[in-house]
A and B are shown apart, each in its own frame.
Chain A
Amino acid sequence: MSELRQPFQRLGRSVTERILRLGFAARFFAYMLVHSGTALRRFHLTIREIYFAGVLSLIIILVSGMFVGMVLALQGYETLQRYGSSEALGVLVALSLVRELGPVVAGLLFASRAGSAITAEIGLMKATEQIAAMEMMAVDPIARVVAPRFWAGVISMPLLAVLFSAMGIFGGYLVGVQLIGVDEGAFWSQMQASVDFRNDILNGVIKSVVFGIAVTWIAVFEGYDAQPTAEGVSSATTRTVVTSSLAILALDFVLTALMFTGGNAR
Chain B
Amino acid sequence: MSQPPIVEIDRVSFGYDATRRVLHDVTVRMPQGKVFAIMGQSGCGKTTLLRIIGGALRPTSGTARVLGADVASLGTAELYALRRKMGMLFQFGALFTDLSVYDNVAFPLREHTDLPAPVIRDLVLLKLEAVGLRGAANLRPSELSGGMARRVALARAIALDPKLIMYDEPFTALDPISLGVVARLIRRLNDSLGATSVVVTHDVAETLPFVDHVFFMADGRVVAEGPPGEVVRAAVPFVTQFVQGNVDGAVPFHFPAPTYATDLGLGAKA
- Contacts A129-B94, A130-B94 given; indicate if A138 touches B88 (C-beta within 8 A): no
Counting chain B CB atoms within 10 Å of each CB, which of A125, A129, A144 scores highest? A129
Bound-complex Cα distance A177 to B54 (A): 68
Bound-complex Cα distance A128 to B95 (A): 8
* 21 A–B pairs (Cβ distance < 8 Å), ordered by A: A125-B97, A128-B92, A128-B94, A129-B90, A129-B91, A130-B95, A132-B94, A133-B96, A135-B83, A136-B83, A136-B86, A137-B83, A137-B88, A137-B107, A137-B108, A137-B156, A138-B79, A138-B81, A139-B80, A139-B111, A140-B76
- CB pair A132 B84 closer than 8 Å: no
Residues in A lying within 8 Å of B, measured CB to CB:
125, 128-130, 132-133, 135-140, 144
Bound-complex Cα distance A137 to B153 (A): 12
Bound-complex Cα distance A136 to B96 (A): 13
Bound-complex Cα distance A144 to B108 (A): 12
Bound-complex Cα distance A144 to B99 (A): 14
Contact of B88 among A128, A130, A133, A144 (CB under 8 A): A133
Q: Which chain A residues lie closer than 8 Å to B94 at the CB level? A: 128-130, 132-133
- CB pair A136 B88 closer than 8 Å: yes
A interface footprint on B84-110 (CB within 8 Å = 1, 0 otherwise): 101010111011110000000001100
Identify 10 new A-B residue pairs, CB closer than 8 A, beyond the known A130-B95, A136-B54: A128-B94, A128-B97, A129-B94, A130-B96, A130-B97, A132-B90, A136-B83, A138-B79, A138-B111, A140-B80
Bound-complex Cα distance A132 to B107 (A): 14
Bound-complex Cα distance A136 to B56 (A): 8
Counting chain B CB atoms within 10 Å of each CB, which of A139, A140, A144 scores highest? A139
How many contacts A-B (CB < 8 Å)? 48
The answer to the question of B20 belonging to the interface, with a C-beta cut-off of 8 Å to chain A, is: no
The answer to the question of B112 belonging to the interface, with a C-beta cut-off of 8 Å to chain A, is: yes
What 9 A-B pairs have minimum CB-CB distances, sorted nearest first? Answer: A133-B94, A129-B94, A138-B80, A138-B83, A136-B88, A129-B90, A138-B84, A137-B108, A139-B111
Bound-complex Cα distance A129 to B86 (A): 17
Contact of A129 among B54, B92, B107 (CB under 8 A): B92
Bound-complex Cα distance A135 to B91 (A): 15
Residue in chain B with minimal CB distance to A133: B94
- How many B residues have CB within 8 A of the partner chain? 23
Residues in B lying within 8 Å of A, measured CB to CB:
54, 56, 76, 79-81, 83-84, 86, 88, 90-92, 94-97, 107-108, 111-112, 153, 156
Bound-complex Cα distance A129 to B84 (A): 18
Q: Which chain A residues lie closer than 8 Å to B83 at the CB level? A: 135-138
Q: Which chain B residues lie closer than 8 Å to A136 at the CB level? A: 54, 56, 83, 86, 88
Bound-complex Cα distance A135 to B107 (A): 13
- Taking the nearest CB of chain B, how far is it from the CB of A166, in angstroms? 32
- Taking the nearest CB of chain A, how far is it from the CB of B146, in angstroms? 13
Q: Which chain A residues lie closer than 8 Å to B84 at the CB level? A: 138
- Taking the nearest CB of chain B, how far is it from the CB of A148, in angstroms? 12
Q: Which chain A residues lie closer than 8 Å to B54 at the CB level? A: 136
Residue in chain A with minimal CB distance to B84: A138
- CB pair A135 B90 closer than 8 Å: no
Residue in chain B with minimal CB distance to A52: B98
Counting chain B CB atoms within 10 Å of each CB, which of A130, A133, A135 scores highest? A133
- Taking the nearest CB of chain A, how far is it from the CB of B94, in angstroms? 4
- CB pair B112 A138 closer than 8 Å: yes
Q: Which chain B residues lie closer than 8 Å to A135 at the CB level? A: 56, 83
Residue in chain A with minimal CB distance to B88: A136
- Taking the nearest CB of chain A, how far is it from the CB of B24, in angstroms? 25
Q: Which chain A residues lie closer than 8 Å to B56 at the CB level? A: 132, 135-136
Residue in chain B with minimal CB distance to A121: B98
Q: Which chain B residues lie closer than 8 Å to A130 at the CB level? A: 94-97
Q: Which chain B residues lie closer than 8 Å to A125 at the CB level? A: 96-97
